Amino acid sequence: MHGYTMDKDDYLKRLKRIEGQVRGLQRMVDEDVYCIDILTQVSAATKALQSVAVGLLDQHVRHCVSNAIANDPDEADRMITEATRAIERLVKS
Amino acid sequence: MHGYTMDKDDYLKRLKRIEGQVRGLQRMVDEDVYCIDILTQVSAATKALQSVAVGLLDQHVRHCVSNAIANDPDEADRMITEATRAIERLVKS
Amino acid sequence: MHGYTMDKDDYLKRLKRIEGQVRGLQRMVDEDVYCIDILTQVSAATKALQSVAVGLLDQHVRHCVSNAIANDPDEADRMITEATRAIERLVKS
Amino acid sequence: MHGYTMDKDDYLKRLKRIEGQVRGLQRMVDEDVYCIDILTQVSAATKALQSVAVGLLDQHVRHCVSNAIANDPDEADRMITEATRAIERLVKS
């Protein structure tokens, strides 16, 4: 059980849609669509991925980190450090 | 014919790999993998998409925009404005 | 008292350095330095700002949010929502 | 003379304002303002910097790169590679 478990179906649906966007990108490249139109679709897929990440992170802090804070301070400390590293990677990608 | 046409196979291969990463994300969510590990994979897919975008943009300026500059200044102007909007969307996604 | 209070001097030093970078940018523009060199310095200042933000966020979760989780669950909930909005703004800037 | 030269005053004004935002951040940290409010201001300064960068890049392609394309193809090639590296740094910061 993790923070996102209760919204699993929603995440699966969103990732399915992103998979469709990436397949759409392949079709666009294959059909020689105009570069800028491909870039617009790349930005849309990127934004959708980033928004999945922000959602996972929110639920991670709200559930996993909160549980650890209540029950195991050392574990909580480790988890917050991990979460910060994850935010760092997101901000830089 | 667009800037990326000569590297079409390379782009298709990279997008295929990103599609695989997104399918991997669905498997991870489905199997209740730890949130932070999913986030690491989301960042990897995002970085890969951004890098496809930077490549497309490079070739767009190198070929499409360069051609327009040589042949049709007004068209070049429009294309540079479009490219700037695309960069803006990338930077903010 | 907030999460960052104990590292106040460090943050002030980092922000002072960023202020210097931004003043350096003004000098560069004023002296007609080559565009790309200015862009390199803009990226450095942006990265430095983002890194201040990630540090503040880490300490916010580690101290302010952790305190609230232990003492006031409703307040904790509100703070996590705020933190998520802040991450969202960071990721998109 | 570079792409941005004709808008020098506008860039200087925007950078002056960003310098003010960074000084405001120091005041906020010094006065123990709430973490999230500081983060909001960091995002505003970051966005303002990124928008200066996108503007500089637009004018770099529109003027410097365009000139090189018309007069010196090898130089143009080098400049486009530089611009792509600059975009890459922006996207990742």
Across the range D1-16, mean pLDDT stands at 92
Across the range B50-60, mean pLDDT stands at 95
Q: Please indicate whether, in this complex, the C-beta atoms of A80 and C58 are within 8 angstroms of each other.
A: yes
Burial class (CB in 10 A: 0-12, 13-18, 19+), B27: exposed
Q: How confident is the model at residue D10 (pLDDT cuts 50, 70, 90)?
A: very high
Across the range B69-76, mean pLDDT stands at 93
pLDDT over 80 at B7, yes or no: yes
pLDDT over 90 at B1, yes or no: no
Query: Concatenated DSSP letters for C6-35?
Result: GGHHHHHHHHHHHHHHHHHHHHHHHTT--H
Q: How confident is the model at residue D80 (pLDDT cuts 50, 70, 90)?
A: very high
Q: Which pLDDT score, from 0 to 100, does residue A48 have?
A: 97
Average pLDDT of every residue of chain B: 94
| Residue positions counted in chain D | 93
pLDDT over 80 at B72, yes or no: yes
Q: Specify the pTM.
A: 0.93
**Contact C25/C45 with Cβ under 8 angstroms?**
yes
Average pLDDT of every residue of chain D: 94
Across the range C77-92, mean pLDDT stands at 94
Is residue B93 within 8 angstroms of chain C, CB to CB?
A: yes
**Contact D61/B60 with Cβ under 8 angstroms?**
no
Residue C1 CB neighbour total at 10 angstroms: 9
Q: Which pLDDT score, from 0 to 100, does residue D92 have?
A: 84
Q: Which pLDDT score, from 0 to 100, does residue D52 have?
A: 97
Q: Is the reported ipTM for this assembly greater than 0.90?
A: yes
**Contact D58/B84 with Cβ under 8 angstroms?**
yes
pLDDT tens-digit map of A9-55: 999 999 999 999 999 999 999 999 999 999 999 999 999 999 999 99
What are chain A's partners, defined as 3 or more CB pairs within 8 angstroms? B, C, D
Residue among A91, B92, B55, A36 at smallest CA distance from C92: B92
Q: Give the span between the Cα atoms of B60 and B14, in whole angstroms.
A: 18
Q: Which pLDDT score, from 0 to 100, does residue A1 have?
A: 74
Q: How confident is the model at residue B93 (pLDDT cuts 50, 70, 90)?
A: confident
**D-chain residues near C88 (CB < 8 A):** none
Amino acid sitting at position C55: G
Q: Which pLDDT score, from 0 to 100, does residue C86 have?
A: 96
Element (H, E) at D2: none
Query: Concatenated DSSP letters for D17-82?
Result: HHHHHHHHHHHHHHTT--HHHHHHHHHHHHHHHHHHHHHHHHHIIIIIIHHHHHH-HHHHHHHHHH
D46 to chain A: nearest residue by CA?
A: A91
Q: Which pLDDT score, from 0 to 100, does residue B13 have?
A: 98
Average pLDDT of every residue of chain C: 94
Work out the minimum CA distance from A16 to partner chain B, whole angstroms: 7
Give residues with Cβ within 8 angstroms of D59, minimum separation 6. Answer: C35, D2, D3, D4, D7
Q: Which pLDDT score, from 0 to 100, does residue B68 have?
A: 94
| % pLDDT > 90, chain B | 90
Is residue C36 within 8 angstroms of chain B, CB to CB?
A: no
- Helix, strand or coil, per DSSP, at residue B18: helix
